[in-house]
Amino acid sequence: MNEDTRPTVLVVDDAPDDLKLLSGLLKECHRVKIANGGEKALAIARSEPLDLVLLDILMPEMDGFEVCLALKQDARLRDIPVVFISALDDVWDKVKAFRVGGADYVTKPFQAEEVLARVDYQIELRQLRRQLEDRNRDLKEANARLQELDQLKASFTAMMVHDLRSPLTGIQTVLDIYETQGSIRPEFLVRCRHSLQDILSMLNDLLELFRSEGREIPLDFRRLDPKVLLQGVLDAFAPRASARGIHLNLTCPQPLPEIEVDPQKVNRILSNLLDNALRFTPPGGNILLDACEVDGKGVDLGLRWLSISVTDTGQGIVPEQLPYIFDPYRQTSKHDAGLGFGLGLAIVQRLMAAHRGRVTVRSQIGVGTRFTLLFPVSPVTP
C-alpha cells in the first residue's frame, strides 16, 4: 500500500515493549505514530491528522481515561476513534472507557488478529461516517438550491403572466373597439401588431431557453464577414431607435477577421442585446455597436478573438445585481417589471458558450451598460 494513503494510527503506551509490539503489528498496513505518555499523545494529535488512537489506560501523570476525555473535548479531535487496550478487565473500567468516549476496548494480553480487526473496523466506520456527512451536506446544499430555483420559477411564472397580460389586453381592447364601431383607427392596428410581436418574442425566448437546458445547442456553422452581420442587425433596429429619438451607431475597422459562427444564433444574440439597450435607454440617448480584433492575454495568450460590444447610455445596473445578470428567471430589479421577464440574457450566455465564446458586462448607475461578446477567430466547428 502506498505510504501516503495508509491510515495513521497513534499508539499510546508507557511500556516500551508494548509500543514496539503494537507498532510492528500495525506498520505493514498503517502509518504508525507512538507516544509514551498522555501529554505527548495530545501534542501529536494536535499537530497532524490521525485516523485512530490506540490507547493504554494505566500510565503515570495522565492516564488513558484523561487522554480520551481531552481528545473528545477538543472540537478538532473529537471524531478520532479511540480504542482502549489495557490489562484492566473489570467491567467498570470498560464502562468508564466508553463513558469518556472510547469506541472499543481490547484486553491485554491480546491476539494480534483481534487488534487488527478492531482497529480496521473503527477506521472504516469513521470513513463511512465522513462519507455520510459529506453526502448529507451535499444533499442539504442541493435542496437549498432547488428551493431557491422553485422560488425563482414561481416568480418567473408570475412575471410571465404579467408580461403577457399587458399586450393581450391591448389586443382585446382593439377587438372590442372593432366589434362596437365596425372600424379601427390605423394607429390602433399598429399597437396591436406591436403587441403580437412582443408576445411572439416572449414565447420564442421561453422556447429557446427550454431547448438549451441540459442539452447541447445545435449550431449551423458558417464562415462570414462579421461587418455584414452587424450592419444587418443595425439596419433592423434603426427604425425603432429613430422612432424613440435614440442615436444608433456602428463602429468597426476594415477589414475584420472572418469568424465561423451560426449566423441565425449570432443574430439572436445581438438582437437580444440591442433590444435590452433600447428598452433601458431614454429618448435622446446613444447606443453604440462596435467591433474589433483583440489578442488573448494570460491564459488566452496566443489566441485571437473578435470583440463585439453593445454600449448604451441607459439607467445602468446596480453592482449587487451584476453577478446574477445572466441567470434565467431573474430581472435586474422590480423597477424593470413589465420590460420582459429576464430570459434574453440567459439565452445570450448559453448561445455564446455554444460558440466557445464569452459574454461579459460592465455597468454604472446613471452612465450606462456595456455588454462585450468574444468570438474565437479560429474555427470552432466540433
- Position 187 scores a pLDDT of 82
Domain coordinates in residue numbering, the chain: 3-110, 145-212, 222-376
Considering the domain delimited by 3-110, tell me its CATH architecture. 3-Layer(aba) Sandwich (3.40)
d(CA 74, CA 62): 17
pTM: 0.53
The three-class DSSP label of residue 179 is helix
The answer to whether 230 touches 253, Cβ cutoff 8 Å, is no
Residue 378's φ and ψ, nearest 5 degrees, are -75, 160
Question: Within 13 Å, how many C-alpha atoms sit on residue 184's CB side?
Answer: 17
pLDDT, position 192: 85
382 residues of the chain, pLDDT tens digit each: 455 689 999 999 999 999 999 999 999 899 999 999 999 999 999 999 999 999 999 998 899 999 999 999 999 999 999 999 998 989 999 999 999 999 999 999 889 999 999 999 999 999 999 999 999 999 999 898 888 777 767 766 766 676 677 778 888 888 888 888 888 888 888 888 878 877 887 777 777 667 666 566 778 899 989 999 999 999 999 998 999 999 999 998 878 888 999 998 899 899 889 988 998 999 999 999 999 999 888 888 888 999 999 999 998 988 888 888 887 766 544 444 333 445 778 888 888 988 999 999 999 999 999 999 999 996 544 4
Q: What is the CATH number of domain 145-212?
A: 1.10.287.130
C-alpha cell at 202: 416572449
d(CA 313, CA 366): 8
Q: What CATH superfamily classification does 222-376 receive?
A: Histidine kinase-like ATPase, C-terminal domain (3.30.565.10)
Q: Say what the pLDDT of residue 250 is.
A: 93
Domain 145-212 identical in fold to domain 222-376: no
Could you give the C-alpha distances from 133 to 114, 126, 137, in angstroms and in order?
A: 28, 10, 6
Given this model, what pLDDT does residue 84 score? Answer: 96
| CA–CA dist 43, 62 (Å, integer) | 13
What stretches of 33-111 show up as alpha helix (H) in DSSP?
Answer: 38-47, 64-73, 91-99
Which amino acid makes up residue 9? V
**DSSP character for 298?**
G
